[in-house]
Structure 1
């Protein structure tokens, strides 16, 4: 009995060589090749994410448009490097996750095929689960897709001042699912990328400073306009402000007028995020010059004010006040 079993064992092993040796070896090869290919691709992505020499953008960002390229303000403050690093890191993370998912799915399919498992029911079941997850997590998928497009299109980045309609402030972090920004009061806002319908970015390209100066209607508009433009021009020529102005200040002229006042408008194109500081300094200097020229702001016309007193009909005639003159006529 034992001898027959010993004689049949080699034959049994020989008959099942494919199951005992070939299939495990193929599975191990599939797993090893998958891990090696994944590691190589992730290594390439990591190299592409690393910043270039000097202030060059990472290689992964070079095919995409960069809206703040050649921005002296971002380069001087260091925000440009931080912006590029976070943008590249996020795109690299998404690419790594995508590669890992694809590689593991392909490896799983090959392993199941080697085990002789019919993939048709598996694919059908996976499709049903995918549809169910798609309906249940469609908001999350929407957030991730919107976040990816925001990164690729460089709609905004770290250090930008943006307006999300319901929340506005300085961007502190940009992720695939949400964006974190801090407003002027220090409040931190977390905005889901899928809920963003429009974005107002005040940090791209250039900014415009608009100064409206109201003066008395009787003041010579030419004198006030010339003084206003002279202040802005002299400010632009100073070393401290020379890099801020991107072009000569422009006097737009009379913006509005009425019986009591005339409003003169001046505009200047400046670098992003410099518009508030520049506007405050311009207003201060214009105020000083206008005071020296004795050009004041329009005062309310006291004579045009009409005082209406409400009288109770049951209380008799109104009582005269100090500023009311009464005349009594006596007939003899």
Structure 2
């Protein structure tokens, strides 16, 4: 080997075959150390930045797609909710727009969180692979850790899954009046783990979704106002029934009840007879969800006033003589 050939070999950059970054940096700087480190100083950082940029773009596009699928316009059902079952009847379409919007927004928020975790999780794995980290032990450790966390946080996982299915099945939403067993009241917030309720006394209840075994929803679709009015044994049942039907029908046609009543009242007649309550007459009326109690109070007051004007007696309370002790 000649001296000129030896000098060429000494001056050649320590680059592997096909390492274009090494040759490019050496041609620009004529520095062997920079050339040999070009892969770590230039190639890998650029690749990592590219992975992060692509992940952020994919996440942004996915979130925009979810927003589009969960957007309700013109009273139409959001695209995301069309395959799902709705509990309320279609005849009450005008009353469902707010509930559909709230339900779609909640489900969309869940999907956005899941999308972010998946996209950035995959990006994190790709970055580790780019840095030369062996992913097999990492995935194995993550699997073991996941199993350990799963055993230690079974209640948390159960609460989360119950919250997801609750939202998908439209069991209840914010503003609904529900009975979940140990607590009942108006739903103030719905989360994947906790449902927040406030009862009639103002007490706030925090109920874990995984502990809810059954739900009674008084605000889904429509409600029924049940009005029971007692009369005495000496009253004319036929006359009382006629007055009951007339007053209930007239009251349902004027404000403030007309905006809440969905169908004309139905008089069922005598519901029960007892020694303490006398003869109990019952009428029912289909109303907007959550308005049954207000309608019951209004109708009961007007019917009782009409009975008093017509001279229909109420039940007589029997007093028993005190016993000498």
* Conservation of the 8 A alpha-carbon contact between 1:86 and 1:174: no
Aligned position for 2:183? 167
Partner of 1:17: 19
Displaced runs of 4 or more, over 6 A: none
**TM-score under structure 1 normalisation?**
0.77
1:282 partnered with 2:299: yes
Aligned to 1:60: 80
Match of 1:101 among 117, 122, 127: 117
Cα 1:84–1:208 change in 2 (3 A) is closer
Q: C-alpha distance in 1, partners of 2:167/2:91?
A: 19
Alignment of 1:85-100 (within 5 A): 85-100=101-116
Q: Secondary structure at the match of 1:12?
A: coil
Q: Residue 38 in 1 paired to residue 40 in 2?
A: no
Q: Please state how far the C-alpha of 1:11 moved relative to its aligned partner.
A: 4.6
Match of 2:167 among 151, 154, 159: 151
1:124 equivalent among 125, 128, 140: 140
Provide the C-alpha distance between the structure 1 equivalents of 2:11 and 2:184, rounded to a whole number of angstroms.
Answer: 77
C-alpha distance in 1, partners of 2:60/2:10? Answer: 45
Deviations 1:70-97 (A, max 9, x none): 647847xxxx53x444433332222122
Q: Is the 8 A contact 1:217 1:259 kept in 2?
A: no
- When the two chains are superposed, the root-mean-square deviation of aligned CA atoms in Å is 3.1
Structure 2: distance between partners of 1:190 and 1:5: 79
Q: CA deviation at 1:149?
A: 1.3
Cα distance in 1, alignment partners of residues 274 and 214 from structure 2: 37
Structure 1 window deviating more from structure 2 (263-272 vs 241-250): it is 241-250
Q: Indicate if the aligned counterparts of 1:247 and 1:269 stay in contact, CA closer than 8 A.
A: yes
Q: Distance in 2 between matches of 1:163 and 1:61?
A: 25
CA distance in structure 2 between the partners assigned to 1:290 and 1:73 by the alignment:
36
Looking at structure 2, the residues matched to 205 and 174 of structure 1 have their Cα atoms a distance apart, in angstroms, of 19
Unpaired runs of 5+ residues, structure 1, are 311-332
**2:236 and 2:312 in contact (8 A); partners too:** no
| 1:102-251 alignment, distance < 5 Å | 102-238=118-254, 240-251=256-267
Structure 2 CA distance, aligned partners of 1:100 and 1:277? Answer: 45
Q: TM-score, normalised by structure 2?
A: 0.79
Deviations 1:209-241 (A, max 9, x none): 222222221222111112111211222233543
Of 281, 287, 308, 2:323 maps to 308
**Which sections of structure 2, spanning at least 5 residues, go unmatched?**
1-5, 21-36
**Superposed displacement of residue 59, structure 1:** 3.8
User: How many Å apart are 1:130 and its aligned residue?
Assistant: 0.4
How many residues in Structure 1 have an aligned counterpart in Structure 2? Answer: 300
Work out whether residues 176 and 186 of structure 2, in 8 Å CA contact, stay in contact via their aligned partners in 1: yes
Shift of 1:263: 2.1
The Cα of 1:269 is off from its aligned counterpart by: 2.0
